[in-house]
Structures are given as C-alpha cells and as structure tokens.
Amino acid sequence: MQEALEKWNCDLVEEILPEIYAIMLQISEQFLTELYAADTPQEQIQALRIIKNNQVHMANLAMYAGRYVNGVAAIHTELLKTTVLKEWYALNPEKFQNKTNGITQRRWLGVCNPELTALFTELSGSQHFLTELDDLRALSHYADDAGIMERFHAIKQEKKRQLAEYILQKEGIRIDPKTCFDIQIKRLHEYKRQLLNAFSILWIYYGIKDGTIKDFTPTTFLFGAKSAPGYRRAKAIIKYINEIAKLIDNDPDIRSLMQVHFVTNYNVSYAEKLVAACDISEQISTAGTEASGTGNMKMMLNGAVTLGTLDGANIEIVDAAGKENNYIFGATVEDLEKLKDYCSRAVMAKNPMTARVVRSLIDGTVSDGGTGEFRELYFALLDGASWHQPDHYYLLLDLPDYVETKLRALSDYRDTAAFSQKQWRNACAAGPFSSDRTIRQYAEECWHISPV
C-alpha cells in the first residue's frame, strides 16, 4: 500500500526531531557520495534518494541503513524485488530475504481452542505440538478415521455454539450454530475487499429469491473489522454490510437460509472466539495486495477451509494443505499484469447479475440515510476518483468466479464427513505457519545467532 511507504516533510521532521534530522541528512549525504562515486545513472539515483522534494523517504533510509529486507510471504518478497524496491534489488540483491509470517499456536490454538488442543494431545500422546507445530502433520491420516472426524466435527460445533452464546450475551443477536459459519475478520480496507464479500451475499440473496440458486446451504456470514478514523469509504462499506444484514433479516422468505452479522468492537479477544468457530475463512484480497495475512493462518490452524485468492500467504497455505482442501478463485498477479484497459463499466454491462448487485448502491435497495456515501462507493467502482482508476481492486472482475466458488464451498459443506476431512487436513498442515518457525529463520538467517 502506498500509505505504508512513509514520506515525511523535511521541515516538520527538523522542527520536531532536530537532532535526528541532522543524522538523517548525514546518512543521506554519505549514500549520495557512494552512488556518485560508483557512476550510478541519474534516474537510478533519483529512485534511491533518501531525501528528495523536501521529503524524507523512510523506506529508502531503511534500505540503505538496514542489512536485510524481508517480504512477509514468498510472493511479497518477489513483488518487492520486481516493483516497489526494484532499484534496490539491482543495487543490493544480497539484502533480500523471505520470512513468511507466522502465528503462535499457544494463543491461536492452546488458549482459544482447548477442546481441539485436547484432541490433538490425545492423538499425538503429548503437547509437544505447542512448541513444535510441525508435529500436527503426523495426525493428518486421522482424516480417514470416521470416529475421530465425528469428534472433530463435534468440537467445531461446540466452538460455534460458544461463539453464538457470546454474541447473544454481548450484542443481543441470535445466530444459529447449525448453519455454516463463513467469516471475514480483518481491518477494513478496500484492498481486502469486504465489499466484494457483501456483493456476493446480495448476489446469493437475489439468486435464492428468483430461483436461480436452489438448495442453498443455510449460512451465517460474519464480519469483524474496524475502520481507520478518517477512512470514509471504509465506514461506508461497514454501513452497507449492516444494511444488507437488515434487508435479509426483514425478508421472511430468506432469513432462515442466510444471516449477516457485523460484530461490534472487533479485537483480538473477539478474534479468538471467531477463529475457533470458523468453517470457511474468507481471504479475498486483490492478488498482489496482501503482503502475507495472518488471520488466514489462525483459521486454518483451527480447522477452517480457505476461500481465497492466490495472494500473500494463501499461496503457501494452499501449497501446504492441498488445493483440493481449499477454494481458490479469481485473477492472479500475472492475470492482472496482462490485463490492459480494464473497464469496469464494460464488465458490468456484460453481466446482468453483477449490474444488479452493484446498482444496489444507488437504486434504493439499501439506504445510506441520504449521506451520499453509497453513491460515492458506486462511482469509485465505475468512474474512479481523482487518485485512482475505476474499480482499482477489481471487484467486478472477480465477482462471478467468487460467487461460483463460494457456492461450491457451501454446497460441499453439506457433506459433513468430507468437509470435516478438508478442515482437519488444513489444521494438520498449519505447522509451517507457526511464528516459532518465522523467529527461528530470523535468528539463523538474519541475526546469525543460535539457541544456547
């Protein structure tokens, strides 16, 4: 994300941090001396400069001063080399490493899911997996043991019941643990595409109503997110999702089949409960935008299938757990690179259901209370804005494939035995996504230290 590459106005830095600014200047000058001494071409110097146009470029400062730089998933490291840091890769290829993110199984299994922890302990004969998550690999074959799969399914149901109880007590909303729990929890951002998820839900709603979608698996769609305080569009998206929740709730034909709930005050404590109760983990960022993701790892470890794009750590998750145990859809980074002259209006004009769903932002299906914020979302998708192309995260491009893949996942969910096997195989393949592995790699490959 552009906003993550911090640039600070020199006058501001000098006013607030005069001593630090003096050091920054010296580092910048030393670097320039090295570049000129090596006869570096002008345009390359321009890209690498720490101070230019009266701004301090923090990423360039970090690249010069740092010994190593890492992407947080394999695809992200490759993208750094070929896009945002390509001039640096040409200058210092030896600085580039990959350290795929991880999560701690002590919190994201041991603390949040003692029931599943107990089953893993019983089957493996110890709690060694709490410090060596790769141990779970050896339990994968229990997918073929019907008795164990029944117990695993019962644990998932218990975690769903506990979450339902928590939501009822905290928010006064009743959700049904017998339905499939489809969960998207993460910061609210356009690139994470909560709006794409909302569109898919509305698509399914219309499909059930007009009879084109039959035998729909009863599903609870759960969202959790906070918006940054000044991020107007993110707030509009939260409002839109809540309006869709209301629309469905007020429809007696549909409300036994679908429910949407956006939890209030989403935080880590809430995440612990949601992660353990998840059947389908929504990881649907535009390919190339999510550096790694860690929510994807948390839900995998607790026995969820991933419904996602080939982005961030999803790629490594699917490699480890098997494509056949997950649901991958949408354009890849390579597809998007090849895509020239993307026109969201043309995409919409050629797909009537896409048009119907997107038009809900302006046709009175849902109301923003007259603020115009839904209209702003609509025109961001179809006409763009002063700072971006129309539909710069390709929602309309990926929507039909996403809906099809989601419907396939939800249909597969009905075969409890087969779906539990997929979920189990995901949990048992989560070993590589322990932060113990990440930290071990840092220790060995960056810090060059070993345990005493």
Ligand X SMILES: *Cc1c(COP(=O)(O)O)cnc(C)c1O
Interacting residues toward ligand X by CB under 6 A: 186-187, 267-268, 271, 293-295, 298
What is the nearest approach in angstroms of ligand X to the Cβ of residue 429? 18
For ligand X, the closer CB: 191 or 379: 191
DSSP secondary structure letter of residue 216:
P
Return the number of other C-beta atoms located less than 10 Å from residue 269's C-beta.
10
Q: What is the DSSP string of 124-141?
A: HSSSGGGT-GGGGGGGGG
| Chain residue at closest Cβ approach to ligand X | 295
What is the nearest approach in angstroms of ligand X to the Cβ of residue 196? 15
Task: Give the distance between the most distant pair of CA atoms in the chain.
Answer: 75
What is the nearest approach in angstroms of ligand X to the Cβ of residue 437? 17
Residue 56 sits at the vertex; the CA angle it makes with 32 and 13, to the nearest 5 degrees, is 125
What is the nearest approach in angstroms of ligand X to the Cβ of residue 98? 17
What is the Cα–Cα distance from 254 to 243, expressed in whole angstroms?
15
For ligand X, the closer CB: 91 or 238: 238
What is the nearest approach in angstroms of ligand X to the Cβ of residue 428? 21
What is the nearest approach in angstroms of ligand X to the Cβ of residue 240? 20
What is the nearest approach in angstroms of ligand X to the Cβ of residue 267? 5
Burial 199-214 (b: 16+ CB within 10 A, else e): bbbbbbbbbbeeeebe
The torsion defined by the Cα of 308, 314, 315 and 320, in degrees rounded to 10, comes to -110
Residue type, 103: I
414: phi then psi, degrees, rounded to nearest 5: -65, -25
For ligand X, the closer CB: 51 or 288: 288
- 3-state SS of the chain: helix, strand, coil percent to 5? 60, 10, 30
For ligand X, the closer CB: 46 or 267: 267
For ligand X, the closer CB: 295 or 431: 295
For ligand X, the closer CB: 102 or 431: 102
Paired tokens of 84: 């945002």
For ligand X, the closer CB: 283 or 405: 283
Residue 137 sits at the vertex; the CA angle it makes with 135 and 143, to the nearest 5 degrees, is 130
Residue whose tokens read 């630090």: 20
